[in-house]
A = this chain, B = another copy of it.
Amino acid sequence: MSEPSDKSAPSRTPFFDVRMRGFRDRAEVADVVALLAARLRPLPAEEIDLHEASGRVLAEEISSPVAVPSFDRAAMDGYALRGQETFGAGPYNPLEFRIVGEALPGRPFTQPVGPAEAVRIMTGAPLPERADAVIQVEAAEEQAGILRISEAVPPGRHVGRRGEDIELGTVVLCAGRRLRPQDVGVLASIGTAHVRVIRRPTVALMITGDELLPCGSRPEGYRIVDSNSVMLEALVRRDGGIPLDTQLIADSRPAVEAAVVSARADLLLISGGSSVGKEDHAPRVVAERGELSVHGMALRPASPAGVGFLQDRPIFLLPGNPVSCLCAYDFFAGPALRRLGGGSMDWPYRSCRLPLARKIISAVGRVDYVRVRIRDGQLEPLATSGASILSSTTRADGFVLVPRDSEGVGAGQEVQVFLYD
């Protein structure tokens, strides 16, 4: 866990209007992520049905109120008997037992097993009293009520002991665990019907841009189609969030302000209008109605991004250019969303190390998000670096990050690549 939020929260400074002036200075990516880590905490818990719990983050430690199994049981299909009586059995010295009954799972044989007696038993069935071993079906022969064995089985063989899976009172799973399919199985086996998990964060999506037609339209004249909403909804779902109704908002201060103020989600995303253009109202609205903690990032292509808070709910100003939007989401909003949901702020992408086929040139002082293709085990940086070329992120297999203090990376050098798939 990180320090209490007050320590690392930046002091609130008077709003500097960057519109048609440009950013004075840009925040370091690592500082912004650290700010988010310090300010954000997982949301409160909610109780849900166990059937919905896989993939969710457990909000409490769970100890078992029962032993699993609560009785000794057969671990194989075969015959239950007293192991000691089988000693000496061999291919040239088969031993015989009288079969006195049958034990099935849930339908026990209720009498004790006597000397030279055996009980036909199925996997999972309770071991009858006095029996202490099971001989496998494959190692025995049954004929006319007589069992003939040619192999010794020591006491305890093929017997699952009471509590062998889970002992009474054991801690089964810890708080903070993202539940696996088998975890919900274990919870079922100890009698769990409902479970307390971190609530899934809701996300308000506000898309600004007078040039935008709603997703699903055909582009027309000088109007382009909003693609950020559908992309952001998918990213939010990937990160465990619940996208609420997406709104297309006019490029006007009252419209942006009304949308921001009335948003009721745990996390707010505004796409577009985040930069230094004349119609970029979001930064001022956030600064005046809440706190604009960061505006302008030392990051290409998402430099005109911002982070703020409205009554402790994080709000992210994402550039309207779709690559910048994806980049700003993945650097800042995604980690914040996962943190609210009790998850990890680490990259959600697999990564590996591969050599570069061509050099990457970068500028000192900013992090570069470079889309790359994998060809013959090498990374090819995609020629285009345009923030508006969303197709570069579909042609790419992933991306490479060039650190802020690097002027680039030479051909042949091995670098870490994050894979989109």
A residues in contact (CB < 8 Å) with B: 20-23, 50-51, 54-55, 65-66, 68-71, 73, 75, 77, 102, 104-108, 120, 122-126, 136-138, 142, 160, 164-166, 172-173, 178, 180-193, 209-212, 215-219, 221-235, 237-238, 251, 275-280, 320-322, 326, 350, 384, 386-391, 393-394, 420-421
Within 8 Å by CB of A180, from B123, B191, B321, B420, lies B420
A357 to chain B: closest CB distance in Å? 22
List 28 contacting pairs A-B, 8 Å CB cutoff, sorted by A.
A20-B77, A20-B120, A22-B136, A23-B138, A54-B230, A65-B218, A68-B391, A69-B388, A75-B386, A102-B278, A104-B251, A105-B211, A105-B251, A106-B209, A122-B279, A126-B222, A164-B384, A164-B386, A165-B388, A165-B390, A166-B391, A181-B238, A182-B326, A186-B390, A188-B215, A189-B219, A193-B215, A193-B216
The answer to whether B191 touches A387 (Cβ under 8 A) is no
The answer to whether B227 touches A188 (Cβ under 8 A) is yes
The answer to whether B215 touches A50 (Cβ under 8 A) is yes
The answer to whether A182 touches B390 (Cβ under 8 A) is yes
Within 8 Å by CB of A211, from B106, B210, B235, B279, lies B106
The answer to whether B394 touches A183 (Cβ under 8 A) is yes
Within 8 Å by CB of A222, from B106, B193, B233, B421, lies B106
A134 to chain B: closest CB distance in Å? 12
> 8 other contacts beyond A22-B138, A189-B219, with CB at 8 A cut-off?
A54-B237, A69-B388, A70-B221, A77-B276, A104-B210, A180-B234, A189-B227, A350-B350
The answer to whether A228 touches B185 (Cβ under 8 A) is yes
The answer to whether A390 touches B189 (Cβ under 8 A) is yes
In this complex, which of A181, A218, A326 has the most chain B Cβ atoms within 10 angstroms of its Cβ?
A181
The answer to whether A142 touches B20 (Cβ under 8 A) is yes
The answer to whether B210 touches A188 (Cβ under 8 A) is no
Chain B residues within an 8 Å CB radius of A183: 394
Chain B residues within an 8 Å CB radius of A126: 222
Q: For the complex of A and B, list the 10 residue pairs with the smallest distance between their C-beta atoms, beginning with the closest.
A: A106-B211, A54-B234, A105-B211, A185-B231, A22-B138, A181-B234, A191-B218, A193-B216, A185-B227, A188-B227
